[in-house]
């Protein structure tokens, strides 16, 4: 799946199907396992807490969706992403517990210079209903 | 002005594995490198020990985020997260806050920098 200097504008990439199941949401947002108060109460882990915050239900953390996008970026750019990756994201819709999600990307810009090629990608995380829940851009170099 | 207290934590192999499980990402590189999802989550402002005191709120719902990956974190290291408010504004009767978060590894090297916009809930 890796990107390289010959990758063209319009090239599309997709990540693995992810399921934000209850136990995985608790693992992500509930604090460290094996601590006395696990899972810690917050809008992702506790319905009553979510309601006191004015929400109708618990939801999946935006950073959990960012993690899916980050995995796709590392699949595309390799481990150099850790040194020079950048994402700008908007969270456009709540993600429900149990949703299936896929990270997607398409190359929209490519800048060549003497030694490296800078790529800009439109990125999104889409749920099983085809709705975008996170949208944005990513940039890095190869 | 009250400031957010910084937060220090150590990434044990067990904690790293917890995040690999959470996001279904079992790539072997994460036996040594801290899973990026862990650092994204642990740099959320709600990790600050005085988050609820400063914002008088129980939760922060993300609206936007920019994150810059500068260096990978290594399993076993201690990390420190620091937050600074850089903007506050009202829109449609809601208070929005923008903060900068910096994650520093134990050698003092910045490994992540992010700007996060959020709306507070539960005031």
The ipTM (two decimal places) reads 0.95
pLDDT confidence band for B6 (50 / 70 / 90): very high
pLDDT score of A38? 95
Cα of A25 vs its chain's centroid, Å: 14
pLDDT score of B121? 73
User: From residue B16, how far is each of A1, A107, B19, B31, B33 by CA, in Å?
Assistant: 25, 31, 5, 8, 9
Select from B41, B66, B71 the Cβ nearest to the Cβ of A83.
B71
Asked if B66 and A54 come within 8 Å (Cβ–Cβ), the reply is: no
Nearest Cα residue in chain A from B38: A28
Residue A126 β-bridge partners = A102, A132
Do strands B78-91 and B59-69 pair parallel, antiparallel, or not at all (unpaired)?
Answer: unpaired
Chain A interface disruption, residue of B49, B62, B109, most A CBs within 10 A: B62
Gap between the terminal Cα atoms of chain A = 14
Q: Average model confidence (pLDDT) for chain B?
A: 93
Whether residue B117 is contained in a domain is answered as yes
- Cβ atoms of A118 and A141 within 8 Å: the answer is yes
Query: Using a CB-CB distance cutoff of 8 angstroms, which residues of chain B are in contact with residue A44?
Result: none
Q: Is A56 on the interface with B (CB under 8 A)?
A: no
Asked if B40 and A63 come within 8 Å (Cβ–Cβ), the reply is: yes
DSSP class of residue B45?
G
Q: Where are the alpha helices (DSSP H) in chain B?
A: 13-22, 36-42, 51-55
Nearest C-alpha of chain B: how many angstroms from A9? 23
Euclidean distance between CA atoms A68 and A15, whole angstroms: 8
pLDDT for B65 beyond 90 = yes
pLDDT score of B1? 58
* Region of poorest pLDDT, from B27-31, B54-58, B82-86: B54-58
Nearest Cα residue in chain B from A45: B59
pLDDT score of B2? 66
Whether residue B1 is contained in a domain is answered as no
Nearest Cα residue in chain A from B47: A31
Q: For the domain made up of A12-21+60-141, give the CATH fold.
A: Thiol Ester Dehydrase; Chain A (3.10.129)
DSSP SS3 for A84 = helix
Q: What is the pTM of this model?
A: 0.95
Radius of gyration for chain B, computed over Cα atoms and rounded to the nearest angstrom = 15
For B20, the domain range is: 7-121
For chain A, the structural domain boundaries read 12-21+60-141
| Phi, psi at B66, each rounded to 5° | -120, 130
Nearest C-alpha of chain B: how many angstroms from A21? 9
Q: Over its length of 142 residues, how does chain A's per-residue pLDDT go in tens digits?
A: 699 999 999 999 999 999 999 999 999 999 999 999 999 999 999 999 999 988 999 999 999 999 999 999 999 999 999 999 999 999 999 999 999 999 999 999 999 987 899 999 999 999 999 999 999 999 999 9
pLDDT for B123 beyond 70 = no
pLDDT score of A67? 98
Gap between the terminal Cα atoms of chain B = 19
pLDDT for B122 beyond 80 = no
Euclidean distance between CA atoms A38 and A31, whole angstroms: 6
Euclidean distance between CA atoms A71 and A77, whole angstroms: 10
Euclidean distance between CA atoms B18 and B9, whole angstroms: 15
pLDDT for B75 beyond 90 = yes
What percentage of chain B exceeds 90 in pLDDT? 76
Rank A27-36, B54-63, B92-101 by mean pLDDT and report only the highest.
A27-36
* Region of poorest pLDDT, from A90-94, B79-83, B117-121: B117-121
Nearest C-alpha of chain A: how many angstroms from B65? 5
Asked if A66 and B40 come within 8 Å (Cβ–Cβ), the reply is: yes
What percentage of chain B exceeds 70 in pLDDT? 97
Nearest Cα residue in chain B from A22: B22
Q: How many domains does chain B have?
A: 1
- Cβ atoms of B4 and B50 within 8 Å: the answer is yes
Q: What is the CATH number of the domain that holds B64?
A: 3.10.129.10
Query: Using a CB-CB distance cutoff of 8 angstroms, which residues of chain B are in contact with residue A25?
Result: 22
Q: Is A141 on the interface with B (CB under 8 A)?
A: no
């Amino acid at each position: 799946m890796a990107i390289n200097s010959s990758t063209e504008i319009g090239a599309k990439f997709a990540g693995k199907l992810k399921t934000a199941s209850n136990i995985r949401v608790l693992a992500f947002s509930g604090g460290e396992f094996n601590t006395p108060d696990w899972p810690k109460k917050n809008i992702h882990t506790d319905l009553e807490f979510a309601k006191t915050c004015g929400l109708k239900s618990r939801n999946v953390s935006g950073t959990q969706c960012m993690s899916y996008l980050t995995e796709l970026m590392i699949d595309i750019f390799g481990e150099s992403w850790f040194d020079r990756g950048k994402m700008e994201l908007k969270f456009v819709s709540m993600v429900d517990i149990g949703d299936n999600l896929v990270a997607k990307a398409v190359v929209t810009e490519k800048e060549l210079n003497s030694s490296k090629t800078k790529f800009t990608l439109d990125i999104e995380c889409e749920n099983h209903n085809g709705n975008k829940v996170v949208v944005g851009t990513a940039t890095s170099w190869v | 002005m009250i400031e957010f207290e910084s937060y220090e934590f150590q990434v044990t192999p067990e904690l790293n594995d917890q995040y690999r499980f959470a996001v279904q990402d079992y790539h072997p590189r994460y036996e040594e490198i801290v899973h990026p999802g862990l650092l994204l989550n642990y740099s959320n402002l709600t990790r600050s020990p005085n988050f609820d005191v400063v914002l008088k709120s129980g939760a922060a719902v993300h609206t936007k985020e920019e994150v810059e990956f500068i260096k990978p974190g290594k399993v076993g290291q201690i990390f420190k997260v620091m937050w600074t408010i850089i903007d506050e504004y009202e829109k449609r009767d809601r208070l929005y806050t923008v903060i900068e978060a910096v994650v520093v590894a134990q050698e003092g090297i910045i490994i992540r920098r992010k700007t996060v916009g959020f709306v507070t809930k539960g005031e």
